[in-house]
Amino acid sequence: MSTPTLQAPSPAGTVRRTGRGLRVLPGDARRPGATVTGDGVVFTVYSSTARRMHLVLFDAGTGAELATLPFPDEYRTGHAFTMTVAGADPDTVHYGFRAEPDGAGPVGPVLLDPYAKALAGGEEWGRRPDYRCRIVDDAFDWQGVTRPRIAPQDLVVYELHVRGFTRGRACGVRFPGTYDGVREKIPYLRDLGVNCVELMPVFEFDETDNPFTDPASGAPLRNYWGYNPVAWFAPKAAYAADPWGAGPVRELKTLVRELHRAGIQVVLDVVLNHTAEGDHRGPVLSLRGLDDGAYYLHGPDGSYRNLTRTGNTVNANHPLTRALILDCLRYWATQYRVDGFRFDMAPILARGQDGSPLERPPLLEAIAADPVLAGCHLIAEPFDADGLDLLGTFPRHGRWMEWNARFQYAVRRFLAGHTTDAAEPALRLRGSPDVYAGHGTGASVNFVASHDGFPLADWTAYEQRHNEANGEGGGDGPHDNASWNAGHEGPTDDPGVLRLRARQVRNALLLVAVSHGVPMLAAGDESGRSQHGNNNAYCQDNETSWLDWAAGDAALLAFTRAVLAFRRAHPVLRRRDHPPAEAPDGGLPPYSLHGERPWQPGADGLLAVLMHRPGQAAEPGDTVFVAANNRPWERRVEPPPPPGGTEWRLFADTGAPPGHDIHPTEGTGHVPVPGPLTLADHSVTVLVAHPMGRNER
């Protein structure tokens, strides 16, 4: 098929005519991507390695190439190829670029615009995509809805996968597995008590990009999680109920708007450490063809550095890449109004152009200091696949928060009985002041389970990974899960084992909820979601991963709602600064450790913590006592005396049967605790000091 191309050179600034009614005018080197203006569409792309660059226009309906337009040399500024194309209807054409490194003509692959705001060609989930860039109109009716402002220590984060959240049984939404499906579940999220959803990757990715097959059926496995971005500015089209045209952009913005209207923030899990282009064997989709050396790390022999175990590593602190990443974050913060980002393998962003960690990575500093991002939560996954672990030492610049894996490991090990020493979990409940000294409790995102590893219910049911269905012989996924199966591996009818597991799930949820820092839950853990022992379900686009709304544990869900409401009601659990262990005025310390007897910490397998916040002006005091017994026997614990004028009341006792483990702390049905507690084996009890004689009905 022949396509029209420009024929004769013309002086700078004059209009050039092409076939198909297209006219070419000067562009704007300061506007990367495709921008609709009054004159037409401005196309700009940067490349220091291309001698010439060509714009390829496609028919939006058929995908057929319509025209190839070279960027005129006289419009070029430095390494910026730019021009305005008049007569190109944004609704009927798609586009891409062809770089010409050596003057041989536009024979290379069609490259995606790194700034493409939407991609066509990937609308159907599970079908091999044929990507092209869309021209997007950023206008959207936000209906006057403003962002909720929530301080880090007040957040309750809920991590979810857009598809998996509503793709399972009995989800009860019109469009399962979509942005719209999540929107329909907003009442559920509100009722649960979370105020921030963290969306697993929603940048356009190719789920068919997985070489492994189901060992049982031979069917290809999907790259379901989506940690392989193709375009950093484009939403995943196949997640939209209407994946065509402007549908995905509109639908994701609508989801953000409606979450905001419900008082729920949105954090995006962003993968900026690698791309779907892989190593030298991977597809040349975009950055590789435009400026390979600027966007990716290479070894001395020119091979791709593979610090992410995905094939390539983004050269994040190269100035060109840094600008791209900053522009990307600003775009999502302004055009989608998201409230923050969780950075996958964030230490990659702290590496220099030789791959070694930098003391002051310019990118991280720039993100932290960026005025547009000033209101955004910045959450680092503080380790990468090459073993660089920056937990506690991640360059924070007063802004960055971290997924606190030490919290996860310490709480897991303690509850699983792998240690009887409560010293470390006591630090974790305090907001990890040993790790985040001077940075406040909000630096620590506390969780026991996330998308990585076992779901919470499986953490209580499996000691070994069971990943055979992933097609890698069962050897993938983390080996050490700090888990305990309560005496039997996997499913069982043994009531004793089941009772223990139910306790352990509640123990973990309760400790996360009463800890200083930012609690995070993985979707489904509030109702007992299981992956049947698979601890690396990245490729399980099926019932293993999807939330089964019919199988939810109603009693556990009620428990979770109650503990999140408890956290909301008690500011002593949400203090911004790490509570000191000494009282400034000789009264109760803000944070104190105890044992079977008050003020005598160190009891084997017993974590007993008193959290106290004295009354201030109009605000009453707030005091909570937490006791966790990880020993397989019952024990007697005497709580410290409550503050004057208050009495201890029972809020939670996970040793009680499900459905009887939560109690109102006010009004009818409250349970006073006048004396010592009896802690069941493997259980957690929470008391609250309540003013005597108040709110009694």
Partner 1 sequence: MSFEAYLGFTDSTATVYLSGDLTDKRVPALRSLVEHAVQRPLSRLVLRMTDLESISAGGVRCLAFAQQQLPQGADIVVDGAGPQIRQMLRSGGFDQAVTLLAETPVFDDQIAA
Residue 385 beta carbon to partner 1: minimum distance, rounded to whole angstroms: 15
User: In the complex with partner 1, which residue's Cβ is closer, 83 or 290?
Assistant: 290
**Tokens in use for 56?**
């390829």
User: In the complex with partner 1, which residue's Cβ is closer, 104 or 437?
Assistant: 104
268: Cβ–Cβ under 8 A, 6 or more apart, which residues?
198, 199, 201, 202, 332, 338, 340, 341, 342
User: In the complex with partner 1, which residue's Cβ is closer, 280 or 576?
Assistant: 280
285 binds partner 1 (CB under 8 A): yes
- Supply φ then ψ for residue 289, to 5 degrees: -80, -15
Helices (H), 417-488: 423-429, 456-459
**DSSP per-residue string spanning 213-269:** B-TTT-PBPP--S--SEEEEEEE-GGGSSS-STTHHHHHHHHHHHHHHHTT-EEEEE
Strand, helix or coil at 205?
strand
The alpha carbon torsion through 683, 684, 689, 692 (nearest 10 deg) reads -30
- The residue among 439, 437, 441 whose CA lies nearest residue 611 is 441
Q: Which stretch binds partner 1 (CB under 8 A): 108-116, 234-242, 426-434, 550-558?
A: 108-116
Strand, helix or coil at 321?
helix
Cα separation, 171 vs 187, whole angstroms: 13
Site track for partner 1 across 227-246, x = CB under 8 A: -x------------------
- Supply φ then ψ for residue 332, to 5 degrees: -70, -35
Residue 237 beta carbon to partner 1: minimum distance, rounded to whole angstroms: 17
Q: Kindly state the number of chain residues that form the binding site for partner 1, as judged by CB under 8 A.
A: 36
Altogether, the residues listed in the chain come to a count of: 697
Interface residue with partner 1, options 280, 309, 636, 694 (CB under 8 A): 280
Residue 133 beta carbon to partner 1: minimum distance, rounded to whole angstroms: 14
**CA-to-CA dists, residue 74 to 43, 57, 95, 288, 558, angstroms:** 15, 21, 22, 25, 67
Strand, helix or coil at 678?
strand
Interface residue with partner 1, options 73, 91, 124, 130 (CB under 8 A): 130
Strand, helix or coil at 291?
helix
283 binds partner 1 (CB under 8 A): yes
Strand, helix or coil at 98?
strand
Residue 562 beta carbon to partner 1: minimum distance, rounded to whole angstroms: 45
DSSP 8-state code for residue 527: G
Q: Which stretch binds partner 1 (CB under 8 A): 135-143, 270-278, 535-543, 668-676?
A: 270-278
Interface residue with partner 1, options 74, 123, 154, 209 (CB under 8 A): 209
Q: Which stretch binds partner 1 (CB under 8 A): 96-104, 374-382, 439-447, 671-679?
A: 96-104
Interface residue with partner 1, options 20, 30, 51, 128 (CB under 8 A): 128
Task: Check if 472 is active-site.
Answer: no
Site track for partner 1 across 549-588, x = CB under 8 A: ----------------------------------------
**Tokens in use for 61?**
């309906």
208 binds partner 1 (CB under 8 A): yes
**Tokens in use for 503?**
């306790």
User: In the complex with partner 1, which residue's Cβ is closer, 104 or 569?
Assistant: 104
Q: Which stretch binds partner 1 (CB under 8 A): 123-131, 132-140, 343-351, 462-470?
A: 123-131
Interface residue with partner 1, options 220, 552, 598, 691 (CB under 8 A): 220
Query: What SS3 string covers 142-175?
Result: CCCCCCCCCCHHHCCEEEECHHHHHHCCCCCCCC
Interface residue with partner 1, options 6, 53, 99, 415 (CB under 8 A): 99
Task: Check if 381 is active-site.
Answer: yes
User: In the complex with partner 1, which residue's Cβ is closer, 174 or 280?
Assistant: 280
Interface residue with partner 1, options 11, 13, 144, 211 (CB under 8 A): 211
Cα separation, 148 vs 529, whole angstroms: 29
Give ∠ CA 236-239-242 in degrees, rounded to 5. 105
Q: Which stretch binds partner 1 (CB under 8 A): 98-106, 146-154, 328-336, 382-390?
A: 98-106
Residue 287 beta carbon to partner 1: minimum distance, rounded to whole angstroms: 13
Q: Which stretch binds partner 1 (CB under 8 A): 125-133, 396-404, 445-453, 586-594?
A: 125-133
Interface residue with partner 1, options 9, 63, 105, 172 (CB under 8 A): 105
Interface residue with partner 1, options 61, 62, 217, 281 (CB under 8 A): 281
What b-and-e string marks burial along 218-256, b requiring 16 or more CB atoms within 10 Å of the CB?
Answer: eebbbbbbbbbbbbbbbbbbbbbbbbebbbbbbbbbbbb
Orientation angle between helical segments 495-514 and 554-569, nearest 10 degrees: 20
Residue tagged 């109102």 (tokens):
664
374 binds partner 1 (CB under 8 A): no
CA atoms within 13 A on the CB side of 633: 4
284 binds partner 1 (CB under 8 A): yes
Interface residue with partner 1, options 7, 213, 420, 600 (CB under 8 A): 213
Residue 104 beta carbon to partner 1: minimum distance, rounded to whole angstroms: 3
472 binds partner 1 (CB under 8 A): no
Residue 686 beta carbon to partner 1: minimum distance, rounded to whole angstroms: 48
Query: What SS3 string covers 351-406?
Result: ECCCCCECCCCHHHHHHHHCCCCCCCEEEECCECCCCCECCCCCCCCCCEEEECHH
108 binds partner 1 (CB under 8 A): yes
308 binds partner 1 (CB under 8 A): no
258 binds partner 1 (CB under 8 A): no
364 binds partner 1 (CB under 8 A): no
**Residue in 100, 207, 251, 344 annotated catalytic:** 344
User: In the complex with partner 1, which residue's Cβ is closer, 310 or 623?
Assistant: 310
**DSSP per-residue string spanning 539-585:** G--STTTS--TTS--HHHHHHHHHHHHHHHH-GGGS-SSPPPSS-TT
**Residue in 184, 381, 452, 622 annotated catalytic:** 381
**Tokens in use for 145?**
């809805």
User: In the complex with partner 1, which residue's Cβ is closer, 289 or 453?
Assistant: 289
User: In the complex with partner 1, which residue's Cβ is closer, 107 or 618?
Assistant: 107
19 binds partner 1 (CB under 8 A): no
301 binds partner 1 (CB under 8 A): no
- The residue among 541, 539, 226, 542 whose CA lies nearest residue 236 is 226
- Supply φ then ψ for residue 512, to 5 degrees: -60, -45
70 binds partner 1 (CB under 8 A): no
Q: Is-contact 322 328, C-beta < 8 A?
A: no
310 binds partner 1 (CB under 8 A): yes
User: In the complex with partner 1, which residue's Cβ is closer, 209 or 386?
Assistant: 209
Site track for partner 1 across 322-361, x = CB under 8 A: ----------------------------------------
**Tokens in use for 38?**
């009054």
User: In the complex with partner 1, which residue's Cβ is closer, 178 or 275?
Assistant: 275
- Which residues form the catalytic set? 344, 381
Which residues contribute to the site for partner 1 (CB under 8 A)? Answer: 1-2, 99, 101-102, 104-110, 128, 130-131, 206, 208-211, 213, 220, 228, 276-285, 289, 310-311
